[in-house]
Structure 1
């Protein structure tokens, strides 16, 4: 999947200011699981409500391991209860597929068109050995809006929050 495909996947009618939540799985899903996950996500967002009003939303498994949930709050604000309902879906997927969506110490890089995961503790080693450099794309799961998802979800390590935490000059 390329970023252009991402632009084509996300409904254009959702506002650029729509809220985004990115949940990174501890492993990639096989095709059968991915289809099941996408069906469950569709069931969730097609019935998503905030205080009885339908939420204009969207959710999908991307790159085989990221659940992305989007809520357009132009008409209906997503409240604590409706946010909790989305987290319940994620927790259910964790139990069903024996994965972890809340490990913030695991980072994912796009290398050779594939999502590669690394524990934060091994990133400097990967840089030192030349597996990762400043131009390697990082999945920046801290994005908060649809516009940020499209523009800043996949960014070079050198332009990311990670650049301040590693020494990119060590790369051979």
Structure 2
């Protein structure tokens, strides 16, 4: 069962996938109905999930499920990964490159490769207060309240 993204409960579980490039407006218009259809059809052991899906900041694919209603099973999570892989092929994009980190700088999403991070920190371009889009955020409430969050409040804190 599809739930509008803005109506998810705070405890809804999230899976966040970061694209290696921003989507164009035309691509976003094409993706939106695909996301809604997936969320509508997404199920666990034959039982429909209370799910939603959204593309945020032209780059982040977020799948969500209200686990209080029905928990996602291994098979349903596998189905979501298959869906994300299909989007990758259809739009020639990668959602599984975890070496790219996204920060909010000058009101824009800026991506920094892991290999560049130490140099950017040393140069003062990234500090503990730089807002970071942590793809490890796992519930809707945290996404709404603290995303992006200061890099120093994430797993990146070891760099400061």
Q: Common fold, TM-score beyond 0.5?
A: yes
Q: Tell me which of 7, 10, 29 is aligned to 1:16.
A: 10
The Cα of 1:90 is off from its aligned counterpart by 0.4
The Cα of 1:92 is off from its aligned counterpart by 0.5
What does 1:1-150 align with in structure 2 at a 5 Å threshold? 10-12=5-7, 14-150=8-144
Distance of 2:154 and 2:139 partners within structure 1: 17
TM (norm. structure 1) is 0.85
Contact 1:15 1:74 in 2 (8 A): no
Q: State the Cα RMSD in Å.
A: 1.5
Gaps of 5+ in 1: 1-8
The Cα of 1:85 is off from its aligned counterpart by 1.3
The Cα of 1:59 is off from its aligned counterpart by 0.3
Distance of 1:76 and 1:134 partners within structure 2: 37
Gaps of 5+ in 2: none
Distance of 2:5 and 2:108 partners within structure 1: 20
Give 4+ residue runs of structure 1 displaced > 6 Å after superposition: none
The Cα of 1:11 is off from its aligned counterpart by 2.7
